[in-house]
Every structure is written in C-alpha cells, then in structure tokens.
Structure 1
Amino acid sequence: MGLVHLLRAVAVEFDLLGAEFAARHGLHPTDVRALIHLLDAAREDSLATPGRLGERLSLNSAGTTALIDRLERLGLIRRTRDTADRRRVLLHVEEKAQELGWAFFGPVINDVRGVAEEFDAHELETVRRFLTSALDATRRTS
C-alpha cells in the first residue's frame, strides 16, 4: 500500500499544480487536462479530434464543443480540417499554450528529470514498467 499512497501523493501534487496553472491563466481544470491530452496526442503523432478529446475527458458533444471554443478563443488551440477527410476536424495546440506551460511547469519537469538522472537505466525501466502498469490498471477501473 505504500506505493499506492506515494503514487496518490504525486498525483495530488500534479493536480494541485494544474489547478494553480489554471487559476493563473483563467482556465478551468478541464481546460488543462484537455491541453495535456492534445499535447500527448501530438507527441504520439496521433490525430486529435473533438470526438477523441471528448471521450478522453468524459464530456458529451456539447461540453466538448464549448471547451474547444473556449480554448480556441483564448488562442491556446486551433481547429483545422483534415486534408485526408475534409469532414474531420483536427485540434492543434498553439505555441502560446506550450510557452505558458513551459514557463509554469518547466521548473518541476526539470527537477523530476534531475531526480531520474540519479537512477540507472535498469532502475528507470523498472519504474517505467510500474507506472505503465499502474496507469493501465487505473484505466481499466474507470
């Protein structure tokens, strides 16, 4: 149970950071989660669509549209038509959002990267395996 409690504590701290970031920039915590999902999609080189975003955030169509409208109005994301399928809308995170994120989260990211440098490759692989399995278990539950 000790690992579960530590993992929960890390999750709570990240959630508090996300809430502080949201408050500083006039965002809702769901806006921050949406930006994270869109950044993850870009990093994984997968298409980010309103439907996928709504599914990831457990929002209905109207809620997803309102969220996208709000983020677009703030200049944090943009919508484009998919060139392969003009019916499909794709979502992209704007540089402004990335800059705001790095300005706020950069120091903690660098600190965590520094902590990771204290572990050898085998230890990091064990941590990666554990976190991946914990994430999979959490997703199966929800």
Structure 2
Amino acid sequence: MSDAEKLQFKLELLLNLKSAKDIQNWAIDRLDKNPADLLALEVCFFSKDNKVLDYFNNISIAETTIEPTLKKKILYEVLKKYTEIIPSIGYSIELISNLFAILIKISRFAEDENLYDFINYYDDELYLALEGISKLEPEEIWPTFLNDLKNWLSL
C-alpha cells in the first residue's frame, strides 16, 4: 500500500465514502494479487473495524511523502466521488459545520489555496445564514455547496 493509497483511504473514510470493512475487503483482494504486500496484510488482519479506523485516522497527511500535485489530484478525485452521492437524508447544521471543518483541514493539507478559499466561502455563508444575514437559508447551503463544488471540480 503506497502513501497515495493510504491518503485516498483516509479521505474516503473521513467523508464516509468507504467503511472499515470496505478497506479490509480491499486488503484481502490485494493479498490475492500480491501476497508480499505487508501493509495490506496488516490491514487485513486487524481484529476489529475500529482498529482499521484508528490506523487510518492516525496517518498524518502533512507528514506523507506524497508530492503536492498528487495530493491535490487524490483529493479532487475523492471530492468528485463525494459530490456524486445524493444524501438520502437532510444533514443537521452541526454535521454540515463539521463537514466544512474537515474539508477546510483537508484542503490545507493538500496545499490548495483555491480549494480552501472555495470551501471557506461556503463555511462563512453557513455562518451568515445562521445569523440571518445571507440570502440563503441554512439548509440550502450544503446542497448549493455540493452542486457548486461539483461544477468547480469539473473545470
């Protein structure tokens, strides 16, 4: 497992695009193809899902040896996947606020100021909507953000 794959899995876990079980299944498939992959072996034999989650949560994106352009590419690919998922339920304001915080942190690690500014704009817009200053209602911010992010990523 390369640092790039670790980063991708970490991001997908953060955004709930993959579960710990998905990653364990990936590790099993990987070992079928390459029995010498020690990291896949380690992931495969974590006794519980929370061990997989702990492993990836403890990976420091800032300390990886991934080139900034590759970090950005991986992040954009994961975000594209995320924007393609239509939420089955409405998100609470607290969850949306947490998602913005996660996305802002990720954009900083990817060293992408444009993405950071884009996400921060909508995070600020949420705050303004909660204060009654924005033209949008708070529950309109997240769907608008996802739509605009999808368009922004396709440029």
Give the TM-score, by structure 1 length: 0.36
Looking at secondary structure, tell me which structure has more strand per residue.
1
Greater relative contact order (CA < 8 Å, ≥ 6 in sequence): 2
TM-score in terms of structure 2 length: 0.34
